[in-house]
Amino acid sequence: MRNDEKDLNQEIKRLNDDFKRAQDEYAKEANENNQQILDLKKTVNETKTEKELYVQYRKREIEGKLSTLARVFDKEKLKLKEKIVILEEQLQTENLVSDRIRKFVQTKADSLQKLADKQDKFRENQVDLLEKDREGIEQKKIEDEAEIQRMHGLIQEEV
């Protein structure tokens, strides 16, 4: 009986250790995801700033040439429109990627939360089952001790 109690206590300890490890892994993964988000935001901001600086530079260059080169203007205007289209497509692509990354991170966070909730529920169920088993063992122990006392009484009466 004591071995059963000891085994049950060890099982509870193991489950608690498993739960703690799962929580630690969840926290580590959440921290890594947060760092990835920060890195991606930084990259997006840097790209956006570089794009803005590039567009400003090209715009000023064109304005300077407008006053002296009327014919070059049409060619440059066409080139710039093409570049703007390309930059807009790139921006759309970057926005799409950014949205997908946000959705992925949110999905992953939701998935991890569901897993953590499921593990919590499982651990609680296991602890409840082990607690019921322990209570049954304790009750059986009391009944067995009473039976031993009764038998001792019968032996004493026979002697």
18-68: pLDDT as tens digits? 889 989 898 899 899 899 999 999 999 999 999 999 999 988 888 877 777
pLDDT given at position 146: 92
Give the H or E element holding residue 119. helix 70-158
| 118-133 pLDDT, tens digit each | 999 999 999 999 899 9
pLDDT given at position 153: 87
pLDDT given at position 66: 73
Amino acid (one-letter) located at 129: L
Q: Is the pLDDT of residue 97 over 90?
A: yes
pLDDT given at position 96: 95
How many percent of the chain have pLDDT more than 90? 54
Question: How many Å apart are CA 43 and CA 53, to the nearest integer?
Answer: 15
Mean of per-residue pLDDT scores for the chain: 89
Tokens (6 digits) for 7: 């085994």
Closest CA to 16 of 124, 102, 117: 124
Q: What number is the average pLDDT over the span 129-158? A: 90
Question: 8-22, 66-80, 90-104: which range is least confident on average?
Answer: 66-80
Tokens (6 digits) for 149: 């006392």
Q: Is the pLDDT of residue 139 over 80?
A: yes
Q: What number is the average pLDDT over the span 82-108? A: 95
pLDDT given at position 107: 95
